[in-house]
Chains A and B, each alone.
Chain A
Amino acid sequence: MTIKIGRENELKFRDVVEKYPEIPKLIILKIDVQRRGVYYTQNALNKIDPTIYQVTGANIFFAALGARDQTTKSVPESLILRDGTTIITDPTPLEQNPYIVDYRDGKFVLVDNDEIVEEVGFWEKPDFYGKLTSSGTPMDSIVFGRPQRLNITPSSYCHFWKNDNGCKYCDLVPHLKEDGVIKKKLTPQDAYETVREAIKQKGRYTNICMTMGSDINGKTPFDAEADYYIDILKAIGQNFEGRRFPSQIITTALNEEQLGRIYNETGLASYTSDIEVLNEELFNWICPGKAEWIGYKEWKRRLVAAVDIFGKGNVNTGIVGGVELAKPKGFKTEAEGLKHTLEEAEDLISKGVSVVYIVWVPRPLSFFKDQQNASLEYYVNLTIGLDKLRKKYGLEMDFDDYRRCGNHPNSDLLRV
């Protein structure tokens, strides 16, 4: 369990809002809510109608799975603010100082220190939830809806865990094993049918994102992963007119031959491969499976090579913001972590690879379970730094912005 101690000297939300007027208050709030998590009062839960709102369900990437609050069973999937900003956040026990979601004076609100900080809304339930594919698979067990994006999770297993080389911030496989919910791979037919059903809902989705654990199998490592994405993307693509459709996959760093096949044989429009931490030594320590099978320098090289295939503005990489400070091998100070992270980010961004971050949440079943994430001020500076670099090199990121994704504070800033 993450215990927050020794954070009294960090700037609080209102201090950071005052110190950094160039970053919108609502984006700073999003970051802080992601850092600290949320606790839903019983009063709020009583008012949340599960026929209207999307509550946590069977999907492997839903918010409560592995959340800091292990007692959570059925809460809103995530939050949305009045400007359309999405907050994907963890249910968190009260003793860890989360924001409170309460229902007051006819509105759902975010509360901190018993003061209302902001009105808040929840994601609405997609129409396809509760329906089955022709094979009897519950559609919401394989695909889930963000406010404007379909998330497809074809497989719940990552092969890096076979020799205990899973990423140290990740709790997916340990949690799935504990809950016994490792499931069969999604079939192309189920994927086709679920997307076909989902897009009957007019105005709901603008992008399809697909991601799963790494699969090392194949003649060349990860051929099996590439082939599987091709099969699913081909099936999904039968639902759309035209050569390409708004789509993103988040895969292991595949080589040019594998990426070329995916690009040429499917309608995929953008590509992401998460490098997770922008430092070679920390990458080797935190992501040993990625280091074992591909390596830091090769991961970066493949990302840059992907720009030649998918085009500038259609390739990016994600980092787990703050994990570069993990103890004992991480950067010793936030200043050092920020400096090195932005230097490495510039190397990628200057070559056409955008960098987005998510806020690191040390989850209870991950290797880093007892650690704490960075200060709010650190994340705001990371947001500012990455946004400046994006502007400097003129990179757009339509496929991974506030609407098409909603989980990256720095790409939220592309709206203005």
Chain B
Amino acid sequence: MALLSNAAILLEKELRTEYRSRELLTTTVVFILLVFMLFSITFHPTGSESQQFGPGLLWMAFLFAASLMLQACFLREQTNDTLSALRLTVSDPFAIFFAKLAASTLFLLLTELFMLPFFAGFFNVRILRVLPQLFVVFFLGSLGIAIPGTAFSAISAQARMRELMLPLLLLPVLTPVLIASTEVTAGLLNSEPAMNYAGLGLIIAFDVVFLTALWLFGEYLLEE
């Protein structure tokens, strides 16, 4: 119970600081919008090309935006060494990770849902009929990005060349979740939408494995 209580308190802190600064949400929304615009202007995709490449582009944009967002996740705690204060006060260090990955998932999900109409507009795809299913994929995919992302953010925040370190660590690890999320999204954006349950299962398995690993070994990532 102490874990959940501490995590809830820390999540509230994450939401409050983001509400005041709006740094993460603004940056990621602008970044994804730029990717959509540049791709649309450069390639002028036809309807069938949009269906073929759109989901991949969508998740690539989410992934790069997430790596920007996750960079700040633990870097913010370095400024005044607040991570040390948290380590001294929480009874279970996993509460720190739990709160951060919950906040990152929420911010990513909000960004993705906000950007979805823009994607539909730029690439002429129909989303309204599969909106609930897309929400499920976006949630599980965002969680899949946020769990290892939070862990690697803790590692890279203490490293030299930290800005380069996070994408270098994160992108290869996220390949399975990227492929699965793209395939599930592609199935939903088809002319005859269908849920790819195998892909969805893969994302869930990925989330469970990495969450367990973070729960078991997260404490060591916070040590100096």
- Real binding pair: no
Interface residues of B (CB under 8 A from A): none
